Amino acid sequence: NDDKFAIKARMFANHGSLVKHKHKIEGINSRLDGLQAAVLSVKLKYINTWTELRIKNAKLYTELLSPIQNVQTPKIHSNAKHVFHLYVIRCFNRDKLNRYLNANGVSTAIHYPCPLPLLKAYEYLKLDKNDFSVSKSYKNQILSLPMFPELSRDDILYITNLIKNFYNS
């Protein structure tokens, strides 16, 4: 029966935010209800297969996008395994490319448009935004391409051909 508490509890459970990417407080990711947990417990037996399919899709993306001068693909360290929950590229003219891909039926996303240390939630740390020059310079270049296990080779060819055409026109 306390509206202020209810708002703060919702924010806390959603990474400290009521509006996506506008984190006012430090929070946690606690949005899993019982029904979602039951579905996930059934899906868990497929996780290894889905991870391998994501890795396969990421390798194809990387192979097809690496030759494009205005695109940088994710770097994977030799002693690490990336599961590719997201496939994020760095690209120039990101917003134009984003609109172009969306206009051609490709859903993209911009994850973490603001470097985490610069969010309102961390103002109390009194960080100097100039201490995060790399993340600051990348924030207008990152673009998440479609990534899911069922993504087909033809889908990836379509997406990468659109990106090639965008930069070659």
Q: Within a 10 A sphere around the Cβ of 58, how many other Cβ atoms?
A: 22
Residue-wise burial string across 78-87, b where 16 or more C-beta atoms lie within 10 A, e elsewhere? eeeeeebebb
Angle at 163 between CA 160 and CA 164, to 5 degrees: 90
d(CA 143, CA 98): 8
Q: What is the pLDDT of residue 32?
A: 82
Strands of the chain, DSSP E: 71-72, 87-91, 142-145
Q: What's the pLDDT at 97?
A: 98
Q: Given the structure tokens 């911009």, which residue do they identify?
A: 110
Residue carrying the six token digits 């919702």: 10
Between CA 12 and CA 119 the distance in angstroms is 15
Beta-carbon neighbour count of residue 24 at 10 Å?
15
Q: Is the pTM of this model over 0.95?
A: no
Identify the DSSP state of 110. -
Low-confidence ranges of the chain (pLDDT < 50): none
**pLDDT at position 61:** 98
Element (H, E) at 103: helix 94-103
Residue 8, pLDDT score? 87
Over residues 102-119, the pLDDT tens digits come to 999 999 999 888 888 888
Among the listed residues 16, 22, 58, 63, the one whose alpha carbon sits nearest the alpha carbon of residue 146: 58
Among residues 169, 139, 145, which one has the least CA distance to residue 157?
Answer: 145
